[in-house]
Chains A and B, each alone.
Chain A
């Protein structure tokens, strides 16, 4: 009996099917037309045609952040592949599993500066977890299986697979075999924390008088939020989340003291600064958290749990490093606490909480309500949005002031509800990410919170939304400026607004309508709630809310540059 033979393009499709892929986000071009032809002839997964490859990466990314499944991108060689670079970097910085299949010119042409040849492996090398150049047709399935395995295991991240054209064409065929149980001698990520370190950590935690649990995106990525909540409740300790970790514990949990860092709450940053023990779980002491590392929590004993050893003691020295998957390590910690009959030190706790509640009483996350007839405050919009969606929406953000207002004023009950580009801060991320989420959860409210600057960085995707019926709600906090840039210019550059506002903003209502959607402008406070309610009641159409907000509003509180973690501006000209 002769074995059935397949083209490389067919193998790509068969491999993706074997890996249970439901969606591929992409854009065709010469080098990948054979793959597109093979996709056309199957119906195991759907291909989503975006309008720009960058959007394909963000859409895959949003899909992944909401579902936990590996996002798949397909792009042609040259410009198609380079258009993916920003999206790959975005995924890399936030540890999002993604597989990017990039076409390449035929192996016989590689190196000749052939039409649409770029070395995408080289271009993406510093921003991928790993990459593969396929050079043999029959390697394709296992390379793709490996790419998936690497992308999602350990500390997740994007993987690029380069597929030269001559491996895909109908003239070349080979046998298909795939092993989805990948084992690699050079890659075996640790899962469990070292038992000795767990014991050490629990001893320190048990003796702590002012403990803070500081948790990050790792909790979301490893679906450890229930365990985190249990740990926090067991310890009766305050818990702060990073921008990436919001929803790791419910935003309305009584032990939650808010986000920390540059625009975090006073109580979160103060608690960090005054803690005697910091238990860091799946967070990486990013510079937007620590502020000046030299002044960072000098009196705290730091226990740092992370899957990536390079994150430990990179910026802040850890006294007890624990390498492992954060869900597994939390389980180990809980077991050890039980084993050692842990009892919270009620006296110390009550003193600690008294102190924290004093910081809370400052109400650092607050704003001055609108005066009669004044422009809508952006924070107010987020509050209304929270109320109208019962706090249950997926909120996908772009980058700028609106992002911080969303993080501050929409307490997320669950992980994966808050989707933003925290590490890279990629403007243009919001809309395609929201589309990816909507694809996965068509019945849920999916919001893209954005600004007049960011939305224009991938606005062409409104077209994709129509094609695939993705009725997200775009909430654009239109302040007629690159607000976050302008805020820095106000605070640091003597109010010189160099290129931070745009003349000639388009009429966003008409833009939305031109793409076949509903556009609604909100200008008056009195109509804010009614129009928001209207927008969220429209289920089958995308609504673009162009909300004209007070352009003078700044994001507060804000860490004072070069200061300690808790040195903050509470409002204009007022220090904590």
Chain B
């Protein structure tokens, strides 16, 4: 089962490599990982999308928590949360028909075309993983995808719940 974990940790050299190392060392899966400093730049926040059954997830949470740098870790999956990923994608838009079609699809998904080349459109889209996947699939049926970059997901709990020191 897919899980979204949010980790708050010290923004120290080596702290990211400990997280990544832990996952590879213990054969935990990483589907995506994002990291950046928080508004307090002594702290970093990592979002990891992973897969595993309950037993594996319990070990992942415990093992991450055990790292000295880690202040808090939580599994966002089962509670109300917002999950977003950013996609930047370049597609071929050779003729009027395909340009119109790409524009139409982008609008439906509430994306935006952020750059236009001679024959290429660059599109930006945010959403959860399902939406991004659906968008890519739809574009792929319509035109040729030249290149794409996904940020990996970030997540945050809804409501009062907060991950902070």
Contacts and interface: CB of A to CB of B under 8 A. Distances in A.
A225 interface: no
B21 A126 contact: yes
B66 interface: yes
Contact of B25 (A122, A126, A133, A186): A126
A529 to B, nearest CB: 49
B9 A310 contact: no
Chain B at the A interface: SS class: helix
Interface in B73-105: none
B68 A187 contact: yes
Given A125-B17, A131-B14, A186-B10, A310 B68 contact: no
Contacts of A22: none
B58 interface: yes
A133 B68 contact: no
A310 B59 contact: yes
Interface string A269-287: 0000000000000000000
Contacts of B55: 313
Contact of B14 (A121, A186, A310): A121
A134 B10 CA distance: 16
B34 to A, nearest CB: 20
Nearest to B10: A186
B18 interface: yes
Interface size class of A (residues with CB under 8 A): 10 to 19
A309 B62 CA distance: 6
A186 B9 contact: yes
Contacts of B59: 310, 314
A3 interface: no
B70 A186 contact: yes
A129 B68 contact: yes
Given A125-B18, A125-B21, A130 B62 contact: no
Contact of A310 (B13, B21, B62, B165): B62
Contacts of B14: 121, 125, 131, 133
A185 interface: yes
Contacts of A303: none
Contacts of B66: 308-310
A150 interface: yes
Nearest to B165: A185
Interface string A171-196: 00000000000001111000000000
Contacts of B68: 129-130, 150, 184, 186-187
A310 B18 contact: no
B142 interface: no
Contacts of A133: 13-14
A515 B144 CA distance: 76
Given A185-B165, A186-B71, A310-B63, A122 B17 contact: yes
A80 to B, nearest CB: 21
Interface in B3-30: 9-10, 13-14, 17-18, 21, 25
B69 interface: yes
Interface string B53-68: 0010011001101101
A122 B165 CA distance: 28
Nearest to A317: B55
Interface of B: 9-10, 13-14, 17-18, 21, 25, 55, 58-59, 62-63, 65-66, 68-71, 165
Interface of A: 121-122, 125-126, 129-131, 133, 135, 150, 184-187, 308-310, 313-314
Given A150-B68, A313-B55, 15 more contacts: A125-B17, A125-B21, A129-B68, A130-B68, A133-B14, A135-B13, A184-B68, A186-B9, A186-B70, A308-B66, A309-B62, A309-B66, A310-B63, A313-B58, A314-B59
27 contacts: A122-B17, A125-B18, A126-B21, A126-B25, A129-B68, A130-B68, A130-B69, A131-B14, A133-B13, A133-B14, A135-B13, A184-B68, A185-B71, A185-B165, A186-B9, A186-B68, A186-B69, A186-B70, A187-B68, A308-B66, A309-B62, A309-B65, A309-B66, A310-B59, A310-B62, A310-B66, A314-B59
